[in-house]
Amino acid sequence: MQTANTTAIVTGGASGLGAATAAALAAAGARVIALDLAAACEAGPAVDAVTYVPTDVTDEVQVRAAVAVASEDPQSPLRVVVNCAGVGMSARILGRGGVHDLALYRKIIEINLIGSFTVMAIAAEAMAATEPDVEGQRGVVINTASIAAYDGQVGQAAYSSSKGGIVGLTLPAARDLAQYGIRVMTIAPGIIETPMLATVSDEFRAGLAAGVPFPQRLGRPEEYAALAMAIIGHDYLNGEVIRMDGALRMAPR
């Protein structure tokens, strides 16, 4: 799949993994529509060829409006979706304060899993209406899981559930959308140096890095972006989850 003269949607595109991916796509010649919450779009980086569209991925109306923006130029068809939007709050099923906040559990599932599905489905509808390229391709969707989908730690019941859902979604989504020439892939990152880690101490960050077999450091958003670009360019990758974690397997806590 070529990115030049096409349009890409990146959710969570104003920071972290999403911002790095949006910048990489723009550098490769794509017109990029970065979706994020309004406050994040205002505070996010200004990158040439990236248009920031305030969007709550849990709101179908807002997602449809954003996809319409991404689909408005017939000379630059929508070909790529990268879902990076997500949250990572933690809580134990039974803690000192009682049972896990059920509203919090629901919120994490709604943002991480249902939000990704909503963007994928609505964008796939728009992709399916475009003319295919010479290989019969109309697009590729890359969702973001986590190694927590496999190695969830204490306090990650909700987060691991949401990311496990992304893993389980990958193959049936690829099979569903194959008839339209749309591939679906998932990246499962390990511990990445993102704004989520900005508030922790250097000592704590070093402890996290020490647990990674090799390279013994935290991952970088640019490495996620590089993998996303490799997936986009590799037409035979479909229906699979790729771990990007330095061979890390998380301990219980």
Question: Mind telling me the catalytic residues?
Answer: 159
CA distances from 90 to 15, 211, 217 (A): 21, 20, 23
Q: Which residues, other chains included, contact 233 with Cβ-Cβ below 8 Å and sequence gap of 6+?
A: 1, 2, 3
Q: Do 114 and 58 meet the contact criterion of CB atoms below 8 Å apart?
A: yes
Q: Residue 212 is encoded by which pair of tokens?
A: 């990674």
Rounded Cα gap, residues 235 and 243, in angstroms:
19
- Cβ atoms within 10 Å, residue 139: 29
In the block, residue with structure tokens 């990958």: 170
List beta partners, residue 99: 94
Q: Which residues, other chains included, contact 74 with Cβ-Cβ below 8 Å and sequence gap of 6+?
A: none
